[in-house]
Amino acid sequence: MSDAKTQIDETVKANDVVLFMKGNKAMPQCGFSSRVAGVLNYMGVEYNDVNVLADDAIRQGIKDYSDWPTIPQLYVKGEFVGGCDIITEMTLSGELDQLFEANGVAYDKDAAEKIREANG
């Protein structure tokens, strides 16, 4: 398991934004992963996607790494942000925008506003 932990740690630290998900950003394989990837894709965020279905050690390892039981999991600048419900709430409240701005992560502000308007 230490190999998976090392791989996860290096991935999280080497990329500004990482989404551990089922499937990939082009083809999510669960509704929760699809929702978070859809938000990031729509907002034009550049992120590294890690398909946990491709490696059981990573699939379990990311849960141990974050001490969070579910997937997807979003990391920004090495910090665990949350899963689908938290990302959805942060998107709708504007907190995700603030997190991206505070960490110098580029995103489309107009797209973020459109998400809020559509769900307001």
List binding-site positions for [2Fe-2S] cluster: 30
Q: Determine the Cα–Cα distance for residues 4 and 70; give it in Å rounded to an integer.
A: 17
Of 66, 97, 85, 43, the closest CA to residue 20 belongs to: 66
Q: Which residues are annotated as a binding site?
A: 30
Q: Is the dihedral of CA 10, 112, 108, 40 positive or negative?
A: positive
Residue carrying the six token digits 């701005």: 101
End-to-end CA distance of the chain: 43
